[in-house]
Amino acid sequence: MRFAPVNDFPTKAVVTLAGARDYYQLPLALYESRLLQALVTDVYWPADRKWFSSSVGSLPKRLSCDRFSSPLGSEAVQLSANAMGAAALMKAMPNLNLNRYKDKALGKKARKIALKTQAALFCYSYYASEAFKPNGELPRYRFLFQLHPHPMAVRALLQEEVELVPHAKGSLMSEHELSLSANEFRELSNEPHLANGWVVASSYTARTLAEFGIPLGQINVVPYGVDSLRFSQRTNPPAATAPFTVMYVGSLIQRKGLSYLLDAARMLGSDSVHFVLCGRGHVDEQLLAHYSDVNVEVKIGLPTSQLVEEIRRSDVFVLPSLVEGFSHAILEAMSCGVPVVTTNHTCAPDVMTDKVHGFIVPIRNSEAIAESLEWGMGHRAELARMGQAGAARAQCFTWERFRIGVRQAYAKMLATAS
């Protein structure tokens, strides 16, 4: 392979991602400092162009806002026609899976632009396997934003879980890391090893990369931000006379450790605690049926405004995830002023302090979850103060802070990439 020459610092970057990943914060971080050569994506509405607003003014605002960021000028965005076509086909035919085709189309176009403009290539995971493929000429700088923990680490953990919780096998086997073909999984697992610069959102993700040979000292941990206006702090905690309410938000699947929360509910007894599961995305009906004796309230697909109100009304937020690259829900609950019980396989060690903003427990530990909730039931005033402390802590994690961290990591990677 040959490496393309690069201009003197500051070198611009081509960023690639599908959808509106992280609200476009990574490309925006570089755009703000004139370091973005181009964002390569599948769909982006040029809502900042007069011709667009005048010709498609009837387009639902939700659609145009979902794939547009007003601070990020559309002149910096380039679309992959192949990726856009794949996205349209999957929208029209939900059973059609063209994700890997789309991923590779984005990676291929991003690589082509980076080579043509002598730019660095900054890919989210999934797109890097094609963009960084070691054939022909390669961009000198190949930086990876690793969304999830190392695929090998995730697969091993999920395979263990299939044995431990057989009634959750359905949703576990549909997970990306277990459902990919052998070749696709090999490509995904090899992505971090084709890069020469790494950014992750949590120290847990960094540890998993290090377990598989990426130098820990070269991995940049940049935690995400939270929209503190949308997830604003509640005025008052629940009344002492109100039922003790435990809130869960996320896909109702075992990857999120759902069985361990429901086991904790069994231990505590449903009469003493009100459990609310706000589901979004996939629902493992077989797993829920296994806990039909547990009295929980399930709410599916709530709009964000209602979801925020549900969180604010709760005494404690619980997310017993087995594996997370970050988990925005943790910061969102903290921002609302609600204490959090979660595991150390999330962003928790990066954004909260155990027994100050909530409780950080080991994965697969229903007893620790039950103990934390039981303590909270007996100390509601102290638990509410944890929530207040969490809200103050969440204020530190803004999207502006994330963008500054990305730019610092980018400068460091340019200086140290080999």
pLDDT along the chain (418 residues), means of 10: 50 94 95 96 80 56 67 91 92 89 95 96 95 91 97 97 95 93 95 97 98 97 96 94 95 97 91 90 92 93 94 97 97 98 98 98 98 96 97 98 97 91
Q: Which residues pair with 13 in a beta bridge?
A: 36, 120
Q: Are 173 and 118 in contact (CB under 8 A)?
A: no
- Write phi, then psi, for 231 (nearest 5 degrees): -105, 65
For residue range 210-251, list pLDDT tens digits in order: 999 999 999 999 999 999 999 999 999 999 899 999 999 999
Q: Which of 87, 121, 119 is nearest to 103 (CA)?
A: 87
For residues 184 and 32, give the distance between their C-alpha atoms in angstroms, rounded to a whole number: 35
pLDDT at 58: 52
pLDDT at 320: 98
How many other CB atoms are there within 10 angstroms of residue 131's CB atom?
29
For residues 246 and 34, give the distance between their C-alpha atoms in angstroms, rounded to a whole number: 45
Q: Are 413 and 11 in contact (CB under 8 A)?
A: no
Got the DSSP string for 329-373? HHHHHHHTT--EEEETTSSHHHH--BTTTEEEE-TT-HHHHHHHH
For residue range 30-60, list pLDDT tens digits in order: 999 999 999 999 998 876 676 565 555 555 5
Give the dihedral sign, CA 205/210/211/214.
positive
Structure tokens at 203: 């120290």
Half-sphere CA count of 220, side-chain side, radius 13 A: 24
Structure tokens at 298: 């399930």
Whether the link from the prior residue into 223 is cis, omega within 30° of 0, is: no
Give the dihedral sign, CA 106/111/113/118.
positive
Half-sphere CA count of 56, side-chain side, radius 13 A: 12
Burial pattern 20-48, b for ≥16 Cβ within 10 A else e, equals: bbbebbbbbbbbbeebbbbbbbbbbbbbe
Domains assigned to the chain: 2-225+399-416 (3.40.50), 244-394 (3.40.50.2000)
* Predicted TM-score of the model (pTM): 0.93
Sheet holding 142-146, edge to edge: 77-79, 36-41, 13-16, 120-124, 142-146, 197-200, 219-221
Tokens 């263990």 belong to residue: 160
Q: Mention every residue, 6+ apart, whose C-beta is less than 8 A from residue 183.
A: none
pLDDT at 45: 82
